[in-house]
Amino acid sequence: MSQTGGPVTVEGHAGEQAVAALQGFGVDVMFTLNGGHVWPLYEAARHRDMRVVDTRHEQSAAFAAEAYAKLTRTAGVAVLTAGPGITNGVSAVTSAWFNGSPLVVLGGRAPQGRWGSGSLQELDHVPILRSVTKSAGTVTDPATAARVVHEAVATAVAPHRGPVFVDFPLDVFGPSAGELPAVDASFGRAAEPDTDAVAQLATRLAAAERPAFIVGSDAYWGRAEEALRAAVEALRVPVFANGLGRGLLSADHELAFLRTRGLLKQRADLVVVIGTPLDFRLGFGRFGSAAVAHVVDAESQRASQIDVPSVVGDIATTLTGLGRHGGARVDHDAWIVELRDAEERARADEEPLLAATADPIKPSRIYGELRRRLERDAVVICDGGDFASYAGKFVEVHEPGCWLDTGPYGCLGNGMGYLIAARVARPSAQVVALLGDGAAGFSLMDADSLVRHGLPCVMVVGNNGMWGLEKHPMQAIYGWDVACDLQAGCRYDEVVRALGGGGETVTDPDEIGPALDRAFAAGVPYVVNVVTDPSDVYPRSSNLG
Ligand SMILES: Cc1ncc(C[n+]2csc(CCOP(=O)(O)OP(=O)(O)O)c2C)c(N)n1
Ligand SMILES: [Mg+2]
Q: How far is the CA of 541 from the centre of ligand 2 (A)?
A: 19
Q: Is the CB of 262 under 6 A from ligand 1?
A: no
Angle at 131 between CA 135 and CA 301, to 5 degrees: 80
> Tell me, what's the pLDDT at 541?
58
The region, left, alpha or beta by phi > 0 then psi within -120 to 50, assigned to residue 121 is: left
pLDDT digits (tens, 9 = 90+) for 157-195: 999 999 999 999 999 999 999 999 999 888 889 999 999
Which tens digits make up the pLDDT trace of 41-54? 999 999 999 999 99
What is the Cα–Cα distance from 500 to 42, expressed in whole angstroms? Answer: 26
Does residue 430 sit in helix, strand or coil?
coil
pLDDT of 112 strictly over 80 = yes
Cβ–ligand 1 distance for 22 under 6 Å, the answer: no
> Per-residue confidence at 542, pLDDT binned at 50, 70, 90?
very low
By C-alpha distance, which of 391, 377, 417, 372 is closest to 516? 372
Residue 246 CA to ligand 2 centre (angstroms): 25
Residue nearest to atom 9 of ligand 1 (CA): 385
Residue 1's pLDDT band (cuts 50, 70, 90)? very low
CA of 246 to the centre of ligand 1 (A): 23
Beta strands, E only, 33-188: 51-54, 76-80, 103-109, 135-138, 164-169, 177-180
Question: According to the model, what pLDDT value does residue 4 have?
Answer: 60
pLDDT of residue 119: 95
Nearest-angstrom CA–CA distance, 142 and 49 = 22
Would you say the CB of residue 387 lies under 6 angstroms from ligand 1?
yes
Is residue 35 a contact partner of residue 81, using CB atoms and an 8 Å limit?
Answer: yes
Ligand 1 pocket test target in 467, 484, 543 with most atoms within 8 Å of CB: 467
CA atoms within 13 A on the CB side of 542: 15
- Nearest ligand to the C-alpha atom of residue 489: 2
pLDDT for 55-101, tens place per residue? 999 999 999 999 999 999 999 999 999 999 999 999 999 999 999 99
Residue of 145, 131, 163, 132 lying closest to 65 (CA atoms): 163
Residue 248: pLDDT over 80: yes
* Cα(135)–Cα(133) distance, integer angstroms: 5
Separation of CA 439 and ligand 2 centre (Å)? 7
Residue 52 Cα to ligand 1 midpoint, Å, equals: 31
Instruction: Select from 353, 366, 380 the least CA-distant residue to 507.
Output: 366
What type of residue sits at position 333? Answer: D
**Whether residue 509 has its Cβ less than 6 Å from ligand 1:** no
pTM across the whole model: 0.97
487 alpha carbon to ligand 2 midpoint, in Å? 10
Give tens-digit pLDDT for 25-39: 999 999 999 999 999
Which ligand 1 atom is at minimum distance from the Cα of 437? Answer: 16
Angle at 286 between CA 283 and CA 287, to 5 degrees: 100
In a mutational test of the pocket of ligand 1, which residue from 469, 482, 540 has the highest number of ligand atoms less than 8 Å from its CB? 469
Sign, CA dihedral 94-95-98-103, equals negative
- Is any ligand 1 atom within 6 A of the Cβ of residue 275? no
CA of 466 to the centre of ligand 2 (A): 4
Ligand nearest to the CA of 438: 1
Length of the chain: 545
Ligand 2 centroid from CA 276, angstroms: 28
The terminus-to-terminus CA distance of the chain in angstroms comes to 33
The answer, yes or no, to whether any atom of ligand 1 lies below 6 A from the CB of 462, is yes
Q: Is the pLDDT of residue 366 over 90?
A: yes
Residue 406 CA: which ligand 1 atom is closest? 25
What pLDDT does residue 543 have?
36
Q: What is the DSSP code string of 260-282?
A: -HHHHHHH-SEEEEESS-SSGGG
Q: Ligand 1 in contact with 363 (CB < 6 A)?
A: no
| Band of pLDDT at residue 3, cut at 50, 70 and 90 | low
R_g over Cα of the chain: 24
Residue 536 CA: which ligand is closest?
1
Instruction: Report CA-CA distances (Å) from 339 to 252, 261, 280.
Output: 14, 9, 23
- Give backbone dihedrals phi and psi of 345, rounded to 5 degrees, phi first: -65, -45
Pocket probe for ligand 1: among 387, 412, 466, 535, the residue whose CB has the most ligand atoms within 8 Å is 412
Q: What is the pLDDT of residues 258-292, one digit of tens each?
A: 999 999 999 999 999 999 999 999 999 999 999 99
481-507 confidence digits (pLDDT tens):
999 999 999 999 999 999 999 999 999
Give the pLDDT score at 79: 99
User: What 8-state DSSP symbol labels residue 233?
Assistant: H
**Pocket of ligand 1 contains residue 473 by CB under 6 Å:** no
Please tell me the distance between residue 45's alpha carbon and the centre of ligand 1 in angstroms: 36
CB of 424 closer than 6 angstroms to any ligand 1 atom? no
pLDDT of residue 5 exceeding 80? no
Closest ligand 1 atom number to CA of residue 411? 26
Q: Is the CB of 407 under 6 A from ligand 1?
A: no
Contact 446, 61 (CB under 8 A): no
Bridge partners of 30, per DSSP, are 52, 77
**Secondary structure string (H, E, C) spanning 501-512:** CEEEEECCHHHH
CB 334, CB 267: distance < 8 Å: no
CB atoms within 10 A of CB 88: 18
